[in-house]
Structures are given as structure tokens and as C-alpha cells.
Amino acid sequence: MTEPTRIGFSSVSLVRKGDHRFYSLTLPSELLAETCFVIAREEDPMKGFQRELDEKRAREIAAYIDSGLGTIPSAIILSAQPDAGLEYDSTRKSLSFKPIRKSFLIIDGQHRVFGFMLAKRAFRVPVIIYSGLSRRDETRLFIDINSKQKGVPAELLLDIKKLAEYEKDEEALLREIFDTFMQEPS
């Protein structure tokens, strides 16, 4: 069996944080589809930590991207697996790896990656790639990302949907009711 051809990407930033190092770059959406995987809790109760994929949510992401109006600038968080052979060239500020299935474990962004796979349009996606993480480190990073972020309160979303011109009639009515209670507490 022949060794897969390595591919490289330039304009990579190396970031060191404590004992960890990660790289910031963009990758083609189709390459993410070919090289990324998750270990769902339902599939492997001993090693899995990802939630079950919500295909409806992934289809909504694909439709959003294909509409031509959608951008999702938040980075997909990946962990390079040993078989990827990830190598960083500090002189060229480039990263290379073997584009094989299961090169990267998705720590955050599985619905976006699956949505990108379903989208008709291909594009470059911001990614953060960690190198040298143990399974313990991967799961801890997953916990940190999913427990320390705080969602936007519903009443704030109602307010900003008006500004974004996304507001539906029932949302406008709810926003007006909230505003009335704020202005007239009695």
C-alpha cells in the first residue's frame, strides 16, 4: 500500500497556550469532509464524547451556506491524530499532513462540518488544529468549550432580530410585551 501524498497549507499561525500548541488556518470545506470524524457517545460509550448528530441542523447549515448569504466565521476545533503525520514548518509558517480518513477528531463543530459536506458550495473554513492531545485532553477541551460558553438570552435575541430584520410577527409581539414590562413594571 502506498503512502498517501502529504498536502500543505501556508499562512498558518502557531499558538502556544500552557502545555498545548495549536495552529490557526483555513482549510477547504471538502477536505474537512474527507479527513474529519467524531466519536459519538452512543457509538462508543467508553471512548465517545460527542452528542448524536442532528441531521436536520446540519441540513439547515447547508441551506444557509448555499443561500449565498450565510457565513460562519467561527473556527472548527480539531485534534490531529497520530496517523495524520502533522508537521509544522516554522520557517515557511506552513502545516502539512496526510489527507486520510480520520486525520482529525472534531472537538467542536461536527454539525458545521456535516453541514458543509451537504452544501453545494465549497469554501474555506477557519480551523484550529491541536497537536499532541491525549484522549483525556480532547475530552477536557470538549467539556470546556461546551460548558463555559453561555447562550444569548431569548429576550436579547428578540431585540437583535429586529435590528437584523429577521423578526417574525409573533417575535415582534413578544418583544413589544417584554419592552412594555421593562418600561412599566406595575
pLDDT, one tens digit per residue, over 55-85 is: 898 899 899 888 887 778 889 999 999 999 9
**Residue 4 class from Cβ within 10 Å (0-12 exposed, 13-18 middle, 19+ buried)?**
middle
Is the model's pLDDT at 50 over the cut of 60? no
Q: What is the number of residues in the chain?
A: 186
Per DSSP bridges, beta strands 124-131 and 76-80 are parallel
pLDDT of residue 22: 95
Q: Are the C-beta atoms of 65 and 72 separated by less than 8 Å?
A: yes
Element spanning 163, H or E: helix 154-164
Model confidence at 46, pLDDT cuts 50, 70, 90, reads very low
pLDDT of residue 174: 75
pLDDT of residue 96: 94
pTM for the structure as a whole: 0.76
Is the model's pLDDT at 48 over the cut of 70? no
pLDDT of residue 133: 93
Model confidence at 140, pLDDT cuts 50, 70, 90, reads confident
The CA distance from 114 to 61, in Å, is 9
Enter the DSSP assignment of 84. G
pLDDT tens for each residue of 78-111: 999 999 999 999 999 999 999 998 999 999 998 8
The three cell numbers of residue 74 are: 467561527
Q: Are the C-beta atoms of 101 and 35 separated by less than 8 Å?
A: yes
User: 99: closest CA among 21, 25, 28?
Assistant: 28
Q: Are the C-beta atoms of 111 and 58 separated by less than 8 Å?
A: yes
Q: Are the C-beta atoms of 151 and 157 separated by less than 8 Å?
A: no
The three cell numbers of residue 181 are: 414590562
Of 162 and 110, the structure prediction assigns the larger pLDDT to 110
pLDDT of residue 49: 45
The CA distance from 130 to 24, in Å, is 9
Neighbours of 121 (CB within 10 A): 12
Is the model's pLDDT at 45 over the cut of 50? no
Neighbours of 123 (CB within 10 A): 13
